[in-house]
A and B are shown apart, each in its own frame.
Chain A
Amino acid sequence: MNGDFRPARGSDVPAGPPADGLEPAAGVVPPAGRVRRAPAPLDDDSKLAIEIRGLVDRGEMDEARERFGELVAMHQRRATRIAYQYLRDAADADEAVQDAFVKVFSHITTYREAWPFEVWFTRILINGCLDRRKARGRRDRWFVGDEPTSADEARASAASPSGNPEHRLLARERRAKIAAAVDRLDGRQRTVFMLCHYGDCTPREVSAMTGMNESTVRVHLFRAARRLRTLLGGKP
């Protein structure tokens, strides 16, 4: 239950579903009660991704790189939020986001429009973050864990709208408490919560990203919220 949603075999980049978009990628647990539905109209980012894929197929790499910059601008902030909340380290999150975008561009020819680009990209990002968490866990077993840099702390403190030092301190404590509570969630609960809460994904999208049943996603999400409320001092 570590929350790893990559296919059992193959590369880090999840292959897209078949053309009908109803079956998950190989190795991913198929959603049990998934209802066959008509493909949704493509989002702007998915259209752009298809356009970039065409450019890469034709060998127009410079043009493809230029268009990819637009795609990066669309998803960068959201990706950074997810990665930071997942990793709780600015440098790690920065690298994870970069790696995810580079991986997406490298494998853009495998993108299939059956999945929204956001789902495909987020899955790549989450798998990268999971790898980093695992690596950090292994590292922390032998070395003293990294403390947040003072620069990061200073920036995080400055995020408080109030200039009052006491308010800043309280805000920092509140964030630390929330972060600790989220970190204590079970692997899948944490991933589902992150994706829904910080990634603005619907349970259906999370289901597509993780391969879990949509109702399972809802259950994980509900349990995560209940546990968070308990950990944060609310009613169980």
Chain B
Amino acid sequence: MSSRVRHLTEERLFDVYLAERAAEPVDPPAAEHLADCEACGTRYAELVSMMGNVRREGDAETDAIFTADRLRAQQLEIARRIALVGRPARVLSFPKRIVRRTITASSSRTAPRWIAAAAAAGLFVGVAVGASYQFRWGLSPYRTAAPFVASGSATPRTARLTPVATRGGGQADVAADDAFLSDLEIALDRPRTRELLAFDDFTPHVREIRDQR
């Protein structure tokens, strides 16, 4: 009688639901009460309906997303992944070509270093030789004549000397030449300033004294 008076609690209703779902035997008093009590029967029906709806919606959603094709693809992917299980780890070796290229790259990296060193040494030697040559050239007495020679002025010098050499070997000619050169030297030695010419005339020269002797 008491089972008819006191309705089943929510917990007991849920236990009945779980037992029915798992196909386990239901608590006999609760089953009896459910069979007799309309209110509890309605509550139980609501509970079953709510849980069923939740389950149905969830399953329908999942099944719509995970179609048979997708599950098949998943199976294949799992098979592919487990094919790698238990196999020794494979050490990835770099392709030989790349390794060789790397080695070549490192050796070719040293080559420019030698080239740079050689270029620097060549530059240094060049500058040194050039500097010493310039220094020697600077000391040379032909420093100012060189451009003169290069410009073709050697010919007049030769032309000037040649007549002296080729004009006979007589004593008179030699004396005339000496006189000429002396006059030239005198002319060159004389002061070019007009005011000083008078002083120069009064001044005895070494060559005049030498000539008098």
Contact = CB atoms under 8 A, between A and B. Distances in A.
Main secondary structure on A side of the interface with B: helix
B82 A218 contact: no
Of the four ranges (under 10, 10 to 19, 20 to 34, 35 or more), the interface on chain A belongs to 35 or more
B174 interface: no
B50 A232 contact: yes
A155 interface: yes
Interface of A: 56, 61, 65, 68-69, 72-73, 76-77, 80-81, 84-85, 90, 93-94, 97-98, 101-102, 105-106, 152, 155-160, 171, 174-175, 178, 182, 196-198, 202-203, 218, 221-222, 225-226, 228-229, 232, 234-235
24 contacts: A73-B75, A76-B75, A80-B71, A84-B62, A85-B62, A94-B74, A98-B78, A101-B82, A102-B81, A102-B85, A106-B82, A152-B65, A156-B65, A159-B61, A175-B60, A182-B54, A198-B58, A198-B59, A218-B18, A221-B18, A222-B10, A225-B14, A229-B47, A232-B50
Interface residues of B, number: 37
B57 A175 contact: yes
B200 interface: no
A183 B25 CA distance: 32
Given A85-B58, A156-B64, A76 B77 contact: no
A155 B15 CA distance: 35
Interface string B193-208: 0000000000000000
Nearest to B18: A203
Contacts of B78: 72, 98, 101-102
B91 interface: no
A76 B11 CA distance: 33
